[in-house]
A and B are shown apart, each in its own frame.
Chain A
Amino acid sequence: MRIESVTLRNYRGVEDRTIEFDDGVTLISGPNEVGKSSIAEALRLIRTKPDSSKAREIQAITPVHKDVGPEVVVVVTTGPYRVEYAKRWRKRATTTLNVFEPSPEQHTGRDADQRYLEILKETLDIDLLEALEVQQGKSLDQPDLAQLRVLQNALGDEESDESDDALMERINAEYEVYFTPRSGKPSKEGRALSDAVQELTRERDRLMGQSQEMQAFVDEHAERGVAIDRANRSIASMEEELAALRAKDKELRGLAESRDASDKALADATERLKRACAARDERREAIAWLERTDAEITEEQSVLDERDADRESAAEARDAAHERARRLEKEQAEVDADLTKLRRALDRHRAVEAVEKLEARVKAAQQADDDVRAAEAQMEAEKVDEGALKRLTKLQQDLRVAEAAQEAAAANITVRAMGDHSVGVDDDTVQPGAQDSRPVIDPVRVTVDGIVEVTVQPGRSPEDLQQGVDAAHAALVRELSKLQVADIAAAQESAERRHRASQAVQDAKARRDQNLDGAELSELEVELARIQAKVSEDAPSNLGESDTWEARIAELDERRTGLVEELASAREELEERRESASEAHTVHASAQAALEEKRRNADQHRRRLTEAREADSDEALEAAVEQADIAVEQATAMRDEQQMALDEADPESVAEELENLEGSLETQEKVRNDARERRSELQGLLRDRERLGIRDLLDDAEAELEEVTQRYERFQRRAAAIQLLHRVITARRDEAQARYVAPFTSEIDRLGKILYNEEMQVEVTPDLHIASRTVDGRTVAFESLSGGTQEQLALLGRLACAQLVDREQGAPLILDDALGFTDEDRLRALGRALAKVGRTTQVIVLTCQPDRYKYLGKAKHVTLPLRGEAVSSGEGVGNDS
């Protein structure tokens, strides 16, 4: 296809402009906004939008302030056709198609559109038309070339046609009914069917379970019925057996009762025998006891007689001892009387001697006592003692000190006797040549006999000194007065006298104490009186000479000591005899009492025995024992007989069997009742289930499941079919596409050499996208290449495609303001490549920077004026027209 010219009228800002294109390269340049892009756009819109279109793109190209519709006219040659296709939108919309070659045709309206498309489809691949256009701003995008049939044909698949695309579309559409397009997972419908099958299967199984459960209830109900019948039969036969057993048990009970009665009778007989034996034994014992006791009494009587003799001899011994003791006591009393008499006489004799000595001592003591009192009276008269004298002397001294102090303070007078005259100073005389010096305390009178008398008057002495002298003087006077002495000398004399009296007191006291010898005088006086009284008693008579008394006393004392000893031993003996006598007496008394008791007791027993014999004779008792013994034997025999009969009947196993049977019967009844209970329960459950109509529900569920299962199976079968078809055909298509890769790649590589002047290789994917570029052994992914390189490679893909496609089937390559990312050197090389492609393919380059394309070789150059109406169609660089 070749575009001869495009005319735009009232198209965006363009009022009317026609651009004619070269068969080879046409470069259309002009500043921005002059409508370069409009040319490419107009070529698209005229083909895709009917004149009635109200699409946004048509609104966009309509002039704003004019009441006119945008209009495009294209003249193209494609295959054998040469046509003029004109379209005006919106205002007076119209479409016309004038076919000039190969034979004239004219179409308008829809017909025109349809015919134009027919012609295009007949002569070229519209996708190629779109693939070879580089729209403004999209220069980095790689074209989708893989599905271009012309390219496929050029690359070796001469059979590929559009029906393949339709087929693939249908297959893909069908595939997407069953599977998701990307992941190939079951579609929503498939999942829904699968879920429905599962859900319905579950529901069916649930209902089936319910149905089976209901049948199980029915079966169990029947089984329980059988069990009840079985139990009833068992119960009937058991009850029969039970009746027989109970009768036997009753009989055995009777037998056991008789045996128990016999037991009782035997026990009674045994008891009676025991009692008879006891009575007989008691009688025998009583007789024996009485005999034994009588013997004992006789024996004990003889012993008692012996005891009586013992008692009497003991009493005699005691009386003898008593007599001896009394005799000794009397003898001792006589000795004691003699001793008393002698000792009294001796005492009187000694008292007479003591009175004389004591009278002398009393007299001397009394004299000394009188002396003491006289001396003490004298001491009392003399007041001055040693202490008082010391005080006085001290006071005298104090006075002298005070006076000396006064003198020291007073004027002093010194009188020297001149010549031979003596001078009188007060009462003293100073011898001639001598001198006298004294203080003037009192008026001092100096006299020279006869010549002169001078009186020196003392000044007034200091008051405190005077007061001191006065006080000392007063104290001295006061003390003297108190001691009743005139002066110190008198005091000293008094003190001397007092000292002498004191010594006299001492002497007299010593004398008195010597006579008293520690006692008081009054005591001595009382003693004296007492002794004197004793002496006044009568002198004893008939006692011989007093100097023998003491010897006689000693002799008597000795004798008395012997008597005392003898008496003590006699008393001891007496005590012993008394005890022996008492003991013998007691022994005898108690033996006698015991014997008497024994006798009474024996008599009592004898009486009882007699009475008992009167009731039952000894012989009767013996006979009773014999009789009871026979009764016991008989009762034992009867009891043993009954026991044996009972043992033979084995009542225990009868009772056991009875118990067992009763238990079994109870068990059977329980079994029956349980079964009955369960049966009513099952009946209830069944009534409950009955209402559900399980069978109907199950039938419905099965029908539904059947239907959905069939649908699902059909679905799956179709899914398997389309999956297989899709897989196989996609694989084959990919293979086919992969086969195009090699020639396409080598074409790009070839063009790449022009561009890069070096060895370059690209890797191309089966869908004919450039995946990577390798230069100098370095491979870089397309996406990682620089913008400029991406742009160049994308263009190379298109160039390769344009180059490969059959010239007759080719479409113009349109570059709208592309290569903005490409540098100067590359632009130059690219110019060469474009020029080379331009030899076989129409190339239209739209740019605002014509400098970029100055190496396009021979090319038609059209410059669009800024808002100009006319088109300056001039000679471009290397333009050949």
Chain B
Amino acid sequence: MKFVATGDWQLGMTAHFLDDEARPQFQRARFDAVERIAEVVAEHDARFVVACGDVFESNQLDRRVIAQAFDALRAFDVPVVLVPGNHDPLDASSIYDSHRFIGGMPDHIHVLRSSEPHEVVPGVEVIGAPWSSKRPQRDLMAAAVEGREPAPDGVVRILAGHGAVSTLSPDPDDPAVVEVSDLQRTLADGIIHAAVLGDRHSTTEVADRIWYPGAPEVTSRDEIDPGNVLVMDVAPDRCEVEKVNIGRWAFTVVGEELDSVEDVEVLRRRLQGMDAKSRTAVWLRLSGTLSTAAHARLQEVLDEASELFAKLDAWERHTDLAVMPEDADFEALGLTGFARQALDDLESAARGEGNHSDADVGAAQDALALLYRFAGGVR
């Protein structure tokens, strides 16, 4: 029995750091990803889909997102089980309780509002551990199976929930942490046959039969392995998992050490060589020391590249790049007299000589670049 495990669709999510043109495309990409999951279902002959929470980015979204979601969900011809997570909990503002959702929900969509076993297809039960608030005070996965008998013969049971597991949680004191050992015991007791969770956007095997399928489309540059869904084949005596990549977007951190104009060229070529630039956000982590001239070149390179990528976070915040004037830079410009003296002053400040703050040093480096440009060094 095959099904597709997924989660963290985060429909309605935007990325404010993206450029103006890229932002709507990125938002659209999440709906496109849902449609591609339908393709995976068809390709693998899966019998249903389980989405483990955070289907929607927020309960505070404009309700138009429901129509868009239903439109994307029409691509499925198998049941799709949605389990509310921490971004879309079943609280008083729940998107699942809105008139538009209840009124327009297609028949093959099922929202698990309790932990009663839900027979999604004959012989398969899904037990959901839905979130009813943003801060549950206990392990909802454990609560969902508490007191349950082992699955009857001939029935496969899947536990679907959301949240951090004890082995990966950054906050072990969080009462909502999902205790992995409890899950394993439940599995061992035959109460369930597999557990899938949302919340972690990178595809992760927590333990045997315990999986995070991850987000089908990247949402943050910190994610290790996003853009996947899991095709799971589960039986009481079997659990085969296939990871299928469907993500189209990439959030990439590019680190380069730049110490010469040649290094700048290497960076330029590296950026040039990247695919799908309009769906790629790049964070540069640049370090090293460049001459004023080389820095001027770097800026030209980055100016060009930023026009191609969905995002090129080049300067200021993630850069540890020093710009040091070199005599050669300015010699060709032949500055004399007071201009030369001003150049000397700025060079001294740019090297941090004397009583200068970092901001002063930065400003001096920038001023040198300007001087370099105005004196005819560039263009």
Distance in angstroms between the alpha carbons of A161 and B360 in the assembled complex: 30
Distance in angstroms between the alpha carbons of A8 and B88 in the assembled complex: 92
Interchain CB contact under 8 A, A167 and B60? no
- Known A-B contacts A699-B14, A721-B370, A728-B345; the reply to A683 vs B337 at CB < 8 A is no
Distance in angstroms between the alpha carbons of A731 and B338 in the assembled complex: 9
A691 part of interface (Cβ distance < 8 Å): yes
The 0/1 profile, CB within 8 Å of A marked 1, for residues 44-60 of chain B is 00000000000001111
Interchain CB contact under 8 A, B316 and A724? no
The 0/1 profile, CB within 8 Å of A marked 1, for residues 81-102 of chain B is 0000000000111000010000
Stretch of A185-193, A211-219, A839-847 that contacts chain B: A211-219
Beta-carbon nearest neighbor of B346 in chain A: A728
- Known A-B contacts A689-B60, A732-B345; the reply to A722 vs B370 at CB < 8 A is yes
Interchain CB contact under 8 A, A706 and B17? yes
B62 part of interface (Cβ distance < 8 Å): yes
Interface residues in A213-228 (C-beta closer than 8 Å to B):
214-215, 217-219, 221-222
A364 part of interface (Cβ distance < 8 Å): no
B43 part of interface (Cβ distance < 8 Å): no
Interchain CB contact under 8 A, A693 and B346? no
Main secondary structure of the interface of B (DSSP, over half): loop
- Known A-B contacts A694-B60, A695-B62; the reply to A217 vs B16 at CB < 8 A is no
Q: Which of B17, B62, B64, B374 contacts A170 (CB 8 A)?
A: B374
Interchain CB contact under 8 A, B92 and A695? no
A579 part of interface (Cβ distance < 8 Å): no
Interchain CB contact under 8 A, B316 and A725? no
Main secondary structure of the interface of A (DSSP, over half): helix
Beta-carbon nearest neighbor of A707 in chain B: B20
- Which residues of chain B come closer than 8 Å to A703, judged between CB atoms? 14-18, 20, 23
Q: Which of B16, B336, B367 contacts A699 (CB 8 A)?
A: B16
- Which residues of chain A come closer than 8 Å to B366, judged between CB atoms? 717-718, 720-721, 724
Q: Which of A160, A219, A707 contacts B336 (CB 8 A)?
A: A160
- Which residues of chain A come closer than 8 Å to B342, judged between CB atoms? 725, 728-729, 731-733
Interchain CB contact under 8 A, A736 and B370? no
- Which residues of chain A come closer than 8 Å to B370, judged between CB atoms? 171, 174, 718, 721-722, 725
- Known A-B contacts A703-B16, A725-B371; the reply to A164 vs B60 at CB < 8 A is no
Distance in angstroms between the alpha carbons of A813 and B63 in the assembled complex: 83
Interface size, B (range): 35 or more
Distance in angstroms between the alpha carbons of A735 and B345 in the assembled complex: 13
Interface residues in A843-879 (C-beta closer than 8 Å to B):
none
The 0/1 profile, CB within 8 Å of A marked 1, for residues 62-74 of chain B is 1110000000000
Interchain CB contact under 8 A, A724 and B367? yes
Distance in angstroms between the alpha carbons of A696 and B24 in the assembled complex: 12
Count of inter-chain pairs, beta carbons less than 8 A:
146
- Which residues of chain B come closer than 8 Å to A710, judged between CB atoms? 316
B363 part of interface (Cβ distance < 8 Å): yes
B294 part of interface (Cβ distance < 8 Å): no
CB distance from A12 to the nearest CB of B (A): 43
B332 part of interface (Cβ distance < 8 Å): no
Interchain CB contact under 8 A, A690 and B93? yes
A157 part of interface (Cβ distance < 8 Å): yes
Distance in angstroms between the alpha carbons of A691 and B64 in the assembled complex: 10
Interchain CB contact under 8 A, B363 and A720? yes
CB distance from B334 to the nearest CB of A (A): 8
- Which residues of chain B come closer than 8 Å to A157, judged between CB atoms? 337
- Known A-B contacts A689-B93, A707-B20, A713-B316; the reply to A721 vs B369 at CB < 8 A is yes
- Known A-B contacts A171-B374, A729-B338; the reply to A721 vs B367 at CB < 8 A is yes
B375 part of interface (Cβ distance < 8 Å): yes
Interchain CB contact under 8 A, A724 and B346? yes
Interchain CB contact under 8 A, B92 and A682? yes
B325 part of interface (Cβ distance < 8 Å): no
- Which residues of chain B come closer than 8 Å to A732, judged between CB atoms? 338-339, 341-342, 345
Interchain CB contact under 8 A, A717 and B362? yes
B134 part of interface (Cβ distance < 8 Å): yes
Interchain CB contact under 8 A, A693 and B336? no
Distance in angstroms between the alpha carbons of A679 and B91 in the assembled complex: 12
B12 part of interface (Cβ distance < 8 Å): yes
Interchain CB contact under 8 A, B374 and A695? no
Interchain CB contact under 8 A, A218 and B59? yes
Interchain CB contact under 8 A, A696 and B61? yes
CB distance from B57 to the nearest CB of A (A): 7
Beta-carbon nearest neighbor of B316 in chain A: A713
Distance in angstroms between the alpha carbons of A222 and B132 in the assembled complex: 9
- Which residues of chain A come closer than 8 Å to B260, judged between CB atoms? none
Interface residues in B311-341 (C-beta closer than 8 Å to A):
315-316, 334-341
Distance in angstroms between the alpha carbons of A211 and B335 in the assembled complex: 57
Distance in angstroms between the alpha carbons of A94 and B61 in the assembled complex: 76
CB distance from A415 to the nearest CB of B (A): 186
- Which residues of chain B come closer than 8 Å to A690, judged between CB atoms? 60, 63, 93, 98
Distance in angstroms between the alpha carbons of A717 and B367 in the assembled complex: 10
Interchain CB contact under 8 A, B338 and A693? no
A281 part of interface (Cβ distance < 8 Å): no
Distance in angstroms between the alpha carbons of A87 and B359 in the assembled complex: 58
Q: Which of B17, B62, B362, B367 contacts A722 (CB 8 A)?
A: B367
Q: Which of A211, A696, A728 contacts B12 (CB 8 A)?
A: A696
Q: Which of B59, B133, B339, B359 contacts A720 (CB 8 A)?
A: B359
Interface residues in B3-51 (C-beta closer than 8 Å to A):
12, 14-18, 20, 23
Distance in angstroms between the alpha carbons of A700 and B341 in the assembled complex: 48
- Which residues of chain B come closer than 8 Å to A164, judged between CB atoms? 336-339
Distance in angstroms between the alpha carbons of A167 and B375 in the assembled complex: 6
CB distance from A326 to the nearest CB of B (A): 139
Interchain CB contact under 8 A, A693 and B316? no
Distance in angstroms between the alpha carbons of A242 and B126 in the assembled complex: 45
Distance in angstroms between the alpha carbons of A725 and B366 in the assembled complex: 9
CB distance from A729 to the nearest CB of B (A): 4
CB distance from B30 to the nearest CB of A (A): 13
Interface residues in B300-317 (C-beta closer than 8 Å to A):
315-316
- Which residues of chain B come closer than 8 Å to A718, judged between CB atoms? 366, 370
- Which residues of chain B come closer than 8 Å to A163, judged between CB atoms? 334, 375-376
Q: Which of A222, A683, A695, A733 contacts B338 (CB 8 A)?
A: A733
A176 part of interface (Cβ distance < 8 Å): no
CB distance from B368 to the nearest CB of A (A): 8
Beta-carbon nearest neighbor of B363 in chain A: A720
A285 part of interface (Cβ distance < 8 Å): no
Interface residues in A191-243 (C-beta closer than 8 Å to B):
211, 214-215, 217-219, 221-222
Interface residues in A573-607 (C-beta closer than 8 Å to B):
none
Sample of 14 further A-B pairs with CB below 8 A, known A160-B336, A732-B338: A218-B133, A219-B134, A222-B92, A222-B132, A690-B60, A690-B63, A690-B93, A703-B16, A713-B316, A724-B349, A724-B363, A725-B342, A732-B339, A732-B341
Which 3 A-B residue pairings sit nearest by Cβ, starting from the closest? Answer: A693-B62, A159-B336, A721-B366
Q: Using a CB–CB distance below 8 Å, which chain A residues touch chain B?
A: 157, 159-161, 163-164, 167, 170-171, 174, 211, 214-215, 217-219, 221-222, 679, 682-683, 686, 689-696, 698-700, 702-703, 705-707, 710, 713-714, 717-718, 720-725, 728-729, 731-733, 735-736
| 11 A-B pairs with C-beta separation under 8 A | A217-B93, A221-B92, A222-B132, A693-B64, A699-B14, A703-B16, A703-B18, A718-B370, A721-B370, A725-B371, A729-B371
